[in-house]
Structure 1
């Protein structure tokens, strides 16, 4: 089961609400669109498991792509497409069940995401 949520502010990200139900081994894409006045925002994805804090997964900025070590690019990837940064998860595993959040910031620090 995969969930997503919306965060509002001057800059904002919009994610579809509700759960995504699929099978192990499949590929899913979680949507995230964003609105910002910033010329080059940093986009982030986080994974939050039950009773835990959100964990930084990856960052995208212009042509820069960075994944946290435990979220290898062969399974977790996102590409910025003008106003969206969908997260693609391949070869799904039961341990991927969580709530996924996207965020944007003017800072490259994943701890400082504003929205």
Structure 2
């Protein structure tokens, strides 16, 4: 059984101007139940900022669901996205999402978002 994980991204920085953005590799990720996958996301900011990176999951036509937030050297997961399966940390302007023990229900569109606290 193959699982398709689709990647999208968006950037939000309401108080800042410039080239603040996130980038994800193009295309789909295809994996098998039980495997581990890592979805890439890199970010850059036009000024010195404190970055907060967010991951969201969207199933079908439902609104995106908040999965987790990363900042500095830690992260906070939403209740239904347990750290033993969904994990991300910021390292060198990258915040890859690691999904372990893949399940069919993980097939979805995943969004990476950046926000900056200080401009």
TM-score range, shorter chain: 0.7 to 0.9
Q: Which runs of 5+ in 1 are unaligned?
A: 108-115
CA distance in 1, matches of 2:62, 2:78: 17
| Corresponding residue pairs, total | 107
Superposition pairs for residues 1-115 of structure 1, below 5 Å?
1-7=4-10, 10-36=19-45, 37-107=47-117
Q: Which runs of 5+ in 2 are unaligned?
A: 12-17
Deviation at 1:39, TM superposition (A): 2.6
Would the aligned equivalents of 1:38 and 1:106 in 2 still touch at CA under 8 Å? no
The one of the two structures with greater contact order (alpha-carbon pairs below 8 A, sep at least 6) is 2
Structure (1/2) with the larger strand percentage: 2
CA change 1:68–1:6 in 2 (3 A) is: closer
Mark the structure with the bigger radius of gyration.
2
CA distance in 2, matches of 1:79, 1:63: 7
- Map Cα deviations across residues 65-115 of structure 1 (whole Å, 9 max, x no partner): 1000000000000011121000000000000000001101125xxxxxxxx
Would the aligned equivalents of 2:74 and 2:89 in 1 still touch at CA under 8 Å? no
